[in-house]
Structure 1
Amino acid sequence: MTDSYPRLAARTLRFTLGIPRNVTVSPDGATVRFIRTPDGVTRSGQLWELDVASGAESLLVDPQDVLAGADEDLSPEERSRRERARESAGGLVSYDVDGTGRWACFTLSGRLFAVHLGANAVRELPATGAVIDPRLDPTGRHVAYANSAGELRVVDVAGTQDRALVSPETPTQAWGRAEFIAAEEMDRMRGFWWAPDGRSLLVERYDDAEVPVWHIADPANPDRPAVEQRYPAAGTPNSIVTLWHVTLDGSAPTEVTWDHAAFEYLARIDWSEGSDPVLQVLSRDQRRSLVLEVDPATGATRTLRELADDAWVELSSAPRRGPGGRLVTVEDVDGRRRVCVDGTAISGDTWQVRSIVDVSDSGVLVTASDEPTEVHVVRISFDGSTDVLTQGRAVHGAVSGGGTTVIVRSELESTTTTVTVHAPGREPASIRVLSEPAPLTPEVELVRLGDRELRAAVLFPRDHVPGSRRLPLLMDPYGGPHAQRVLASGRMFLEAQWMADQGFCVVVADGRGTPGRGSAWEREIHHRFAEVTLQDQVDAVAAIAERHPDDVDAGRVGITGWSYGGYLAALAVLARPDVFHAAVAGAPVTEWRLYDTCYTERYLGHPATDPQVYDENSLLPLAPRLERPLMLIHGLADDNVVAAHTLRLSSALLAAGRAHTVLPLSGVTHMTPQEEVAENLKLIQMEFLRQQLA
């Protein structure tokens, strides 16, 4: 029997296994290294390299050989780190290469390994405790690593002198690891940074003593104790985060000083060759940010840039020093996200800059959008001129080094990904992609809806004959900030096409708050999650009904989503039953006071000073208004959007006498990578929607 699409999607991690990832380019541009699984269904990543001159690929590390076929054994700390990174694969999921190109290092099952790249020889290095995030010093002499005991340790590549550089003084302290908020909400997974000369490091220390303790229980196994987790819910204390300069000679560490009371978030760090470290710190309300330069010898800082915004300062790529010591940042200027050099914007009005790829003498290489659904690679010269390296309806990413640029491309008309290496004076070379072929090809139309020109994807069943029947409409949004669903990539709409093939017109619409359309567009949601994001979905329904009057039945509208999309789905049937007739809400945030500080306070303010904003955006007061079918789904092991969100909404609905369905998922976190769970979960959702919208 042929496996269903949901099972195939779960088995292949949505057809991403086999695609090269974690791509790096050597400083001389001669070698490209990457992680790739051996095929499209095996989850164990291997380390590979490509010789740019010959185009030949070589396998450097196979975890099966290193572990002699044994299964991986991950520490709780590593499992938590992978959950923050939404990492579902196994084997090698990360690695580091020194600046000389002689050594690479990685961790497997909490053990530390180094690879001599010239000899292609793997050796295990002695390490203490379960190893987390090992990194080589730029000169290739030492490996530093954090461990499960909260220490930052160092060992030389010869496998001697494993020693602690800094150790926690209390059980709530940890060195060299990113705290929960940095990893979950600020896209900062690192906790230490080597000096370019390899003689010292900047090391984060966090202390969770004041962070409330929550308990994540497993009701299906009452014999197991609940897992304690420090969770900084909105309005409660964050981790106390400090930064220290730590030398290898055993000297006492030096604390890096800034006004922690005014700027408690450590957001970005860069320590580039030929310059002192550059930090970006952020105020608790996120309306002010400083870019600081550090004197490593004294820990003193001086302000290079001060940023402010009435809503929030957007975090992007780390500020860094460019040629001649110029400060390169990404900032919101006149409604556009722009590259700035020493505070002056050099990118024009055409591009919304998404991230910095590389800074060199020739300019700043960025990913950017002139149309929100497309992402291109653009080189912006310091004089403001631009060179667009990619074209077409597609989404591109890039890495660069030594004049060699690797471009990853996913286009609208295809479900495959290409990885191409561009080196000066050579024909482009391709890195093999081993992903499984998708069992279907989405027939997706990207459109603009309504007065606000909402970007949306529209998918009908592939056998649908226009005008032959009016189908129920299924909205499939995320809809929240910092996440974009409508992009010119065919692979992104595989699941939407499968849902459409079940007998729906499926629409994915990005409303206000989503990236790619400028700071004013994103800030429309400030204090107004419920009002703004729901109204955009309502407008999308009306526009689709008007656009396809003979093919869509506006009297049968369902909505489904996960995480913020789950919040939006539940909100839709609670607040607008006149438009939405059934909803499936997966892992929804139902009460924003239960979600974390950094994300929630950025958009809704502090619950102590803005309680009415939290009340207006909570789903709990709306419970008595439910009159449409609602299915709530939640993983009971979710430590991001905890199951209390669904349980509290369910209790409020029960108290109001409102019938609803709850599907608890035992042992499942915010992700659902298990094949059987993912398959049956999607089949149950579709059956529920079919019945309710029949």
Structure 2
Amino acid sequence: MHFNKILLVFFLAFSTLLFAQKKEVSLEDIWGGEFRQERLQSLQSLNNGQEYVVLERDHNTGETSIEVYNYKTGKKSRTFLSTFNLDSLNSFQSFQFSEDEGKILLSTEVEPIFRRSTRDMVYVYDFQTKKLGKLTDRKVQEASFSPDASKVAYVFENNIYIKDLATGEESQVTTDGEINSIINGVTDWVYEEEFGFVKGFAWNKTGEKIAYLKFDESKVPEFSMDLFGKDLYPTQSVFKYPKAGEANSAVGLYMYDVASASSEEIKLGDYEDFYIPRIKWTQEPMILSVQVLNRHQNKLNLIFVDAKDNSSKVVMTETDEAYVDITDNLTFLEDNSFIWTSEKDGYNHIYHYSKDGKLLDQITSGNWEVTNYYGFDRKSKKIYFQSTENGSVNRDVYSISPNGKNKKRLTSGTGMNAADFSADYSYFINSFTNTTTPAVYTLNNAKDGKVEREILNNKVLLETEAAFQFSPKELSTIAVNGNDLNMWMIKPSDFDASKAYPLLMFQYSGPGSQSVSNSYFGTNDYWYQLLANEGYIIACVDGRGTGFKGAEFKKVTYQDLGNLEVQDQISAAKELGKRDYIDAERIGIWGWSYGGFMSSNAILKGNDVFSMAIAVAPVISWRFYDTIYTERYLRTPQENAAGYDENSPINHVEKLKGDYLLIHGGGDDNVHVQNSMRMVEALVQANKQFDWAIYPDRNHGIYGGNTRLHLYNLMTDFILEKL
């Protein structure tokens, strides 16, 4: 064969090989689970501190098991429980041990209610007798063992019940529960969504008392949603939803005495309009801690209730000019002194108070944030926490003495580190990720952070991705409006700095949120890779109001949501548009929920910068959103009408110049489709052309069946056509 022909054949073969190596990502790949990361499911330490359990499921048979692993060796010690050996139960979705790990509650047939709440069929398994039995024939909420595991309390149809496991006798703690009127033992919609909890009752350490919350929803306005389903006639979902400025549930705290089977309301003080965002028993069996928050959410009282006589006293008060964040960090030590986190010095830090509420020590300090409080080890006298000391986009795990000395960094990788400690604090399982590393789980010694072994990694995912030749997620900062804002950017894999690319910006921007972090790809990042392959640059900027850079940076948007955050997105787009490789005439923006509120405002207020926007499930007017979230940042509409209206997209529709796509789920119980319908009407009356889509019966997440795939096809086509 002639040399030139040989060369040509070689070149063609090499070109074919290169072409074969570069696979094109598809939406079917993304939503079909091609890039799913392996994780440890339902990881939980056993009491001995030397073993942990994980929930495992056989995807072929559906059988579920709780497997026990040894921390030190990583080897499976035994199977704690498997449905393979249970005749009457094929699988379960979650589990809960009794305190002594002698019994376990298994939840199955889980039926979602709202974001965090479910109704479950619950089974009780006794490891000593090897017997499995139904707790009750009804689906219940928040089943919970008494401390000695002799009883289980649960909620059914807004009433609390107690089941005696030895006798099978069932007693009713409350009788006044009524749908859309009175709720006992679980929270109402707005508490669940905004204070992040559902279970509204707690056993004391001796099992003699149950403290519980009662919500009177009778004066809360009802919201109704049409659900179209598949039947001839649609149905309605009707539930209590307090919109900003409207009546909240009247909440009360009650103490139930198990022996006398009687309840008494606790008088907490002279409060008129308030929340009880947390209750928690202290180390003293008869002392209950209660957090009471005023409606403006800028004053929080920590109250101790003595269950012997149901008296109460304020132990500590936390105030803030803007608002006080609610956390689960309150921890009681053996002497009933307590650990508390606060932003009172400008950054979130750990404090130690006596049982009488006297400040003993500020344990951490500095221009960085404590982002997670893991607990206190009584043996080593160490407090364990996570923080941003190594940069706001990173997280590390630390130990420190209660007096604030001997702080030690226990993680070494630069990125996002998160710990799960053994019950005796001898080990922690660290999950680590950064922009180039999907989740890696390691066993670390809690004393010095030394890595004992690797438990799980995602090298298989990296091997899968290699064929696609994805572009890296580049972290940087951008100087905007006097601040260095965190930013990430994804460029086409064949990026050429001499070309000008269209830019798509993503953001969420809600108070205290973070979209820019040193972490690996999420599902949307694979979609951005698809768009990058089509010749787009994608960027995300965390503007003012977002979290982990101090209270001032976060709370600067107080009473004025949608102003400074939108200015930052517009200014960032302008700055990026000055770069030679970005086409300033082709800049788009998109977001979901708060991000949809932002993207809508951006294309209206920044109509000379953004030529395209997509808003998914957006808040269009904060007057339509709930009391707790909205009033925390804006106060009430009656007090701050301008804060509600001046930055509402509905009042700026005449400014629309570019291409706008509006998307909502028709069954969204959180951000109601009312928002988008009002936006549609305003745009129509302003004679503005736009695109929109409603997904019938879908909630705030807009998923189920092919829904997500359809949604992302819709958005992809819109971007390709309009940007």
TM-score by length of 2: 0.86
- Range 339-348 or range 316-325, more displaced: 316-325
Identify the residue that residue 280 of structure 1 maps to in structure 2. Answer: 291
- Range 61-70 or range 103-112, more displaced: 61-70
Deviation at 1:170, TM superposition (A): 4.2
Distance 1:169 1:506, change over 3 A: closer
Counterpart code for 2:102:
R
Cα distance in 2 for partners of 1:42, 1:307 equals 53
1:461 counterpart (486, 492, 497):
492
Distance 1:268 1:242, change over 3 A: same
Identify the residue that residue 18 of structure 2 maps to in structure 1. Answer: none
Q: Is the 8 A contact 1:278 1:319 kept in 2?
A: no
Counterpart code for 1:234:
A
Identify the residue that residue 577 of structure 1 maps to in structure 2. Answer: 607
1:56 counterpart (47, 54, 75):
75
Distance 1:577 1:691, change over 3 A: same
Distance 1:131 1:621, change over 3 A: same
Q: Deviations over 1:244-270 (max 9, x none)?
A: 222322431122321373461111222
Q: Is the 8 A contact 2:430 2:443 kept in 1?
A: no
Distance 1:381 1:163, change over 3 A: same
Q: Deviations over 1:304-335 (max 9, x none)?
A: 21011111112222423224322210001221
Pair 1:437 & 2:461 matched: yes
Counterpart code for 1:542:
K
Correspondences of 1:39-118 after superposition (within 5 Å): 47-52=66-71, 54-57=73-76, 58-60=78-80, 91-92=92-93, 94-109=94-109, 110-117=120-127
Correspondences of 1:201-240 after superposition (within 5 Å): 201-219=210-228, 223-240=233-250
Q: Is the 8 A contact 2:282 2:336 kept in 1?
A: no
Deviation at 1:138, TM superposition (A): 2.7
Cα distance in 2 for partners of 1:42, 1:232 equals 45
Identify the residue that residue 167 of structure 1 maps to in structure 2. Answer: 175
Identify the residue that residue 13 of structure 2 maps to in structure 1. Answer: none
Q: Is the 8 A contact 1:111 1:124 kept in 2?
A: no
- 3-state SS, counterpart of residue 586 of structure 2: strand
Cα distance in 2 for partners of 1:122, 1:423 equals 37
Q: Deviations over 1:571-607 (max 9, x none)?
A: 1111111111100100000011110000101111101
Correspondences of 1:293-442 after superposition (within 5 Å): 293-342=304-353, 343=359, 344-361=361-378, 362-370=381-389, 371-385=391-405, 386-400=407-421, 401-414=423-436, 416-422=438-444, 428-432=452-456, 437=461, 440=465
Cα distance in 1 for partners of 2:178, 2:347 equals 45
Counterpart code for 1:251:
A
Counterpart code for 2:158:
G
Distance 1:436 1:128, change over 3 A: farther
Counterpart code for 1:515:
G
Distance 1:156 1:367, change over 3 A: farther
- Range 199-208 or range 41-50, more displaced: 41-50
Pair 1:199 & 2:224 matched: no
Correspondences of 1:450-529 after superposition (within 5 Å): 450=479, 451-464=482-495, 466-492=496-522, 493-529=525-561
- Range 4-13 or range 378-387, more displaced: 4-13
Cα distance in 2 for partners of 1:21, 1:529 equals 37
Q: Deviations over 1:652-688 (max 9, x none)?
A: 0001100011110012111133251111211210211
1:257 counterpart (260, 267, 282):
267
Q: Is the 8 A contact 2:597 2:618 kept in 1?
A: yes
Counterpart code for 2:704:
Q
- 3-state SS, counterpart of residue 416 of structure 1: strand
Counterpart code for 1:52:
Y
1:33 counterpart (31, 34, 53):
53
- 3-state SS, counterpart of residue 576 of structure 2: helix
Count of paired positions: 665
Cα distance in 1 for partners of 2:629, 2:598 equals 16
- Range 185-194 or range 226-235, more displaced: 185-194
Counterpart code for 2:474:
E
Unmatched 5+ stretches in structure 1: 73-90
Deviation at 1:520, TM superposition (A): 0.5
Q: Deviations over 1:486-522 (max 9, x none)?
A: 1111133444334333321111111112121111111
1:612 counterpart (637, 642, 648):
642
Pair 1:565 & 2:608 matched: no
Q: Deviations over 1:7-30 (max 9, x none)?
A: 4444449835x5224432233313
Cα distance in 2 for partners of 1:45, 1:616 equals 53
Cα distance in 1 for partners of 2:296, 2:237 equals 30
2:663 counterpart (622, 627, 633):
633
- 3-state SS, counterpart of residue 521 of structure 2: helix
Counterpart code for 2:550:
G
Q: Is the 8 A contact 1:11 1:675 kept in 2?
A: no
Distance 1:408 1:539, change over 3 A: farther
Distance 1:442 1:316, change over 3 A: farther
2:276 counterpart (247, 266, 279):
266
Q: Is the 8 A contact 1:443 1:459 kept in 2?
A: yes
- 3-state SS, counterpart of residue 166 of structure 1: coil
- 3-state SS, counterpart of residue 276 of structure 2: strand
- 3-state SS, counterpart of residue 599 of structure 1: helix
Cα distance in 1 for partners of 2:641, 2:165 equals 54
Cα distance in 2 for partners of 1:66, 1:618 equals 56
Cα distance in 2 for partners of 1:419, 1:569 equals 36
Q: Deviations over 1:596-652 (max 9, x none)?
A: 000101111101111121111211111122111100000001000010100100000
Distance 1:25 1:331, change over 3 A: same
Counterpart code for 2:382:
G
Correspondences of 1:542-557 after superposition (within 5 Å): 542-546=574-578, 549-557=579-587
Identify the residue that residue 76 of structure 1 maps to in structure 2. Answer: none
Q: Deviations over 1:514-558 (max 9, x none)?
A: 121111111011122121111111222233334xx2321121100
Cα distance in 2 for partners of 1:436, 1:266 equals 47
Cα distance in 2 for partners of 1:207, 1:279 equals 19
Q: Deviations over 1:46-78 (max 9, x none)?
A: 6443233553335545679869788x9xxxxxx
Cα distance in 2 for partners of 1:3, 1:469 equals 22
Structure with the bigger RCO (C-alpha within 8 Å, sep 6+) is: 1
Deviation at 1:212, TM superposition (A): 0.8
Distance 1:265 1:42, change over 3 A: farther
Identify the residue that residue 87 of structure 1 maps to in structure 2. Answer: none
Counterpart code for 1:527:
Q
Distance 1:317 1:507, change over 3 A: same
Larger radius of gyration: 2
Deviation at 1:376, TM superposition (A): 1.6
Q: Deviations over 1:450-483 (max 9, x none)?
A: 041111111112232x314211110010111132
Unmatched 5+ stretches in structure 2: 1-22, 110-119, 354-358
1:24 counterpart (34, 44, 52):
44
1:129 counterpart (127, 131, 138):
138
Distance 1:198 1:130, change over 3 A: same
Q: Is the 8 A contact 2:430 2:444 kept in 1?
A: no
Identify the residue that residue 113 of structure 2 maps to in structure 1. Answer: none
What is the percentage of aligned positions where both structures have the same residue? 22
Cα distance in 1 for partners of 2:193, 2:687 equals 36
Distance 1:199 1:560, change over 3 A: same
Counterpart code for 1:333:
K
Q: Is the 8 A contact 1:10 1:675 kept in 2?
A: no
